[in-house]
Amino acid sequence: MVKNVDLVIIGGGPAGYEAAFVAASGGMKTVILEKEAIGGTCLNHGCIPTKTIMHSTGLFKKLEKIDELGINLENKSIDFRVVQNRKKEIVDKLRDGILSRINKNNVEVILGEGKIISKNAVKIGDETIETKFILIATGTSAMIPPIRGCDIDGVITSDEILEYNKKPYKELTIIGGGVIGTEFANIFSDVGTHVTVIEALDRILPNMDREISQSFKMTLKKRGVSVHEASLVEEIVKDEQGLTCRYKEKGKDAVVTSEAVLIAVGRKANIINLYEDNIKLEIEKGLIKVNDNYQTVYPNIYAVGDVIGGVQLAHAAAAEGKNAVMHILGSEDRIDTKVIPSCIYTTPEIASVGITSDDAKRQNIKVITKKFPMLANGKTVLSGMDRGYVKIIADENTHKVLGAQMMCGRATDMISELTLAIVNELTLEDIKKVIHPHPTFSEAIKDALN
C-alpha cells in the first residue's frame, strides 16, 4: 500500500509530537511513526518515570525527620510495587493527553519501525509512505561501555531500574556520575540503599558549574553515598557476595561489591536500521549532523532532538522539533535554542542556564558574580533544607544577565526567571525592580542582587 503525505515524522517523543502539532496547525498532512509508545524516552523511560519514583522516595526520606515537625508515624516502609503502579497510571494518563492532542490535530500515528528508503519515501511494515519532508526524531538509547561483565545478570540500565518493584536494594553501584547517575543515587539513598557512584572524570556532574559538583558531592556523602571520582571501572564479576566492580581510582586498584550495578555512562543515537544504504546521511561521533535549520545533507530530510546531540533534554528536543517545522513552513518565528536551562531533580534541586564563571574566564568575558546562600532564605530554613545557593553571572559593563546556577529547593522552577532574563537581555537592575513574594525560594534571586 502506498500513501502520500506532506511530512513523515520518525519517532513519537517530545521532538516528534511537538513538531507534529506545529506541522498540522500549518496545514501539513502529517504522520508520526513510533516503534514503541508515544511519548518517547521522556514519557516512557526518562523524565516522567524518574520524577514520579523520586516523588515517592523523596517523601519517604522526609519521613526520617517527621518527628521534628510534631508528626508521629510508626512502621515507615516503602512498597516499590505501589510506586510502580502509580508510575504506570501517571505515564498512561499523560500519554492519553498527548494522544488526544494528536487526534485533535488530525495527525496520524502508525505504530512500527520506520525506515527511510529514499529521500521522499519511508517504509513501515508493508506500507510505503511518500512524502515531501521527513523529520528524524528517533532519540537515543542507553549506551553500554566496553567493560567486561556488562552483560551479567544484575547489571542494568535506567530502562530496567525504572521498572524495579522489589524491596530496596541493600547496595547499588552506579557507573557514571552524570545527571542520570546522580538522580538514581538520590532515589536509592532516599530508601536506605548503600549507593556507590564511580565517575571516570575528575568530578561528578562534569557539565555543571564546578561549585555545584563540589557541593552536591558533599550532599551525597552526607546521605551516605560513596563517591569515587577519576575512577575507571575495568570489569564486573559475579560471585556469592554479589556483583563486584574492579576499578582504578587515581591509578590505584579498588573494588566494590553490591546487589546490582547501574550503567549510566551516556546515550547513543537510534540510527541503526533507520535508512537504506542508498541514503547517505552525514554521521559525526554517532550523531546525525544537521545545519542551523536542522536539515541533513538532504534539504527535505530534517533531524531533531537527542539523535543530533547537543543538549539532550526533552524541552530542547521539543523546541528543535518546532523550529525545524517552522523552517519547513517558511516562518521566521523560532524558539531561542541558544539558551537552554538544565535541571537535575535531586534533593536539593540543581539548575543551570547560560554561562558559568569558568566559561566566562575561558571566553575572556569580564563578569560580576552575585551569590546568595540559601541558609539565609526563610523558606529554605522553614522547610528544613540545608546547603545551597543561587548564583547569577552578569556582564561587568552592561550588567546584562549571562548565566545562573542554583542548588536549592524549587531550583528547577526558578531557573525559568533567569532564562527569561538572558533571552530578553535583561540587566541585574531589571530583575531588582521586580517584587518577589515572601516567604519563597525565589526571594533568593532578588537577595543575591542586594
Ligand X SMILES: Cc1cc2nc3c(=O)[nH]c(=O)nc-3n(C[C@H](O)[C@H](O)[C@H](O)COP(=O)(O)OP(=O)(O)OC[C@H]3O[C@@H](n4cnc5c(N)ncnc54)[C@H](O)[C@@H]3O)c2cc1C
Does the active-site annotation cover 228? no
By the rule CB under 6 A, 315 interacts with ligand X: yes
By the rule CB under 6 A, 190 interacts with ligand X: no
By the rule CB under 6 A, 13 interacts with ligand X: yes
280: exposed, middle or buried (C-beta count within 10 Å: 0-12, 13-18, 19+)? exposed
Interface stretch with ligand X, choices 27-35, 62-70, 193-201, 210-218 (CB under 6 A)? 27-35
Distance separating alpha carbons of residues 341 and 353, to the nearest angstrom: 4
30, three cell numbers: 502529517
By the rule CB under 6 A, 178 interacts with ligand X: no
By the rule CB under 6 A, 33 interacts with ligand X: yes
Distance separating alpha carbons of residues 140 and 226, to the nearest angstrom: 29
By the rule CB under 6 A, 34 interacts with ligand X: yes
Ranges within 266-285 binding ligand X (CB under 6 A) = 270, 274
What letter does residue 438 receive in the DSSP assignment? S
Phi-psi region of 326 (alpha: psi -120 to 50; beta: other; left: phi over 0): alpha
Which one among 150, 256, 317, 367 touches ligand X, defined by CB under 6 A?
Answer: 317
- The residue (of 32 and 393) whose beta carbon lies closer to ligand X is 32
Site string for ligand X, 336-355 (x = CB under 6 A): ---------x----------
Ranges within 139-168 binding ligand X (CB under 6 A) = 139-140, 158
Contacts of 220 by beta carbon, 8 Å cutoff, 6+ apart: 182, 185, 186, 189, 197, 204, 227
Amino acid at 350: I
Q: Least Å distance between CB 48 and ligand X? A: 8
Q: Least Å distance between CB 295 and ligand X? A: 17
CA-angle at 246, arms to 241 and 249, nearest 5°: 135
- The residue (of 126 and 253) whose beta carbon lies closer to ligand X is 126
Q: Could you say which of 228, 315, 436, 438 is catalytic?
A: 438
Which one among 36, 108, 259, 395 touches ligand X, defined by CB under 6 A?
Answer: 36
- The residue (of 5 and 428) whose beta carbon lies closer to ligand X is 5
- The residue (of 178 and 242) whose beta carbon lies closer to ligand X is 178
Interface stretch with ligand X, choices 42-50, 254-262, 388-396, 423-431 (CB under 6 A)? 42-50
> Residue 345 in contact with residue 54, Cβ under 8 Å?
yes
- The residue (of 163 and 429) whose beta carbon lies closer to ligand X is 163
Ranges within 103-132 binding ligand X (CB under 6 A) = 113-114
Helix extents (H) in 110-265: 158-161, 179-190, 210-222
> Residue 158 in contact with residue 45, Cβ under 8 Å?
yes
What letter does residue 396 receive in the DSSP assignment? T
Interface stretch with ligand X, choices 5-13, 284-292, 350-358, 399-407 (CB under 6 A)? 5-13
Which one among 314, 325, 360, 448 touches ligand X, defined by CB under 6 A?
Answer: 314
By the rule CB under 6 A, 177 interacts with ligand X: no
Which of 312, 316, 49 shows the shortest CA–CA distance to 183?
A: 49
Q: How far is residue 28 CA from its own chain's centroid?
A: 30
Which one among 56, 138, 219, 258 touches ligand X, defined by CB under 6 A?
Answer: 138
- The residue (of 125 and 384) whose beta carbon lies closer to ligand X is 125
> At 48, which helix (H) or strand (E)?
helix 47-62
- The residue (of 16 and 168) whose beta carbon lies closer to ligand X is 16
Contacts of 240 by beta carbon, 8 Å cutoff, 6+ apart: none
93: exposed, middle or buried (C-beta count within 10 Å: 0-12, 13-18, 19+)? exposed
Number of residues that bind ligand X (CB under 6 A): 36
384: exposed, middle or buried (C-beta count within 10 Å: 0-12, 13-18, 19+)? exposed
Which one among 20, 42, 290, 393 touches ligand X, defined by CB under 6 A?
Answer: 42
For the annotated catalytic residues, the residue numbers are 438
Q: Which residues bind ligand X (CB under 6 A)?
A: 10-16, 33-36, 40-42, 45-47, 50, 113-114, 137-140, 158, 180, 270, 274, 305-306, 312-315, 317, 345
